[in-house]
Amino acid sequence: MVRRSWWLHPAAKPLLFLLCLLPFADLLWGAIANTLGANPAEALIRGLGDWALRFICITLAITPLRVISGQPALARFRRMLGLFAFFYASLHLLAYGWLDQGLDLGEIARDIAKRPFILLGFTTWLLMLPLALTSFNRAIKALGAKRWQLLHKAIYLLSLVAVAHFLWLRAGKNNFTEPLIYLAVLALLLGWRAWRRWRS
């Protein structure tokens, strides 16, 4: 078992920060070196979206891991992980708007209205935006702890919308394997919370 003091070490957060940047560095290098395959734009957009969803799941996993492992210090990493989920989601949205739509805002708006899975993805980002903007101590003080906690419960809803976005995207290719894995992970993480609430 990892010692509790390790999670409180001054180097723990900077190390985690660098680890969270590795997927971005890998995708960026792939784009520069042209190693992302036959359709690099699509690979970059999908890769950034995958990591956004992974970081949402990792953020949701912190509380169960903290409780089950008896490591309360894990909670200090949750905010950073949530912000990295927003970071990758924002890059995913930017890559779509730039590489797929040429940053044509009118075309992007029409595409959002026309394709439901794009609408779900954009809705996920909109739900993440207020959480990212209030993920600072000053915002917590301004909102008050109870209202801040209520606002940040939106992560449960946005996680489901994000998976629905992924499912709808893969529906066109009739390939549901990977989205269903994410759905199972989310069902486990959210089900654990519901079970604890029911027990209490």
Please give the pLDDT value at position 162.
Answer: 96
Residue 1 has pLDDT above 80, yes or no: no
Which residue, chain included where needed, has tokens 């000053």?
138
Question: Residue 118 has which token pair?
Answer: 């794009």
Q: What are phi and psi of 144, to 5 degrees?
A: 90, 145
Contact 44, 36 (CB under 8 A): yes
Select, from the ranges 1-5, 10-14, 54-58, 97-101, the one with the highest average predicted confidence (pLDDT). 54-58
Give the C-alpha distances (Å, rounded to integers) separating 116 from 11, 92, 112, 120, 194.
43, 17, 7, 6, 29
Tell me: the pLDDT tens digits for 97-121?
999 988 889 999 999 999 999 999 9
Mean per-residue pLDDT over the chain, rounded? 91
Domain that holds residue 11: 4-199
Cα angle: 24, vertex 27, 33; to 5 degrees: 135
The number of domains in the chain is: 1
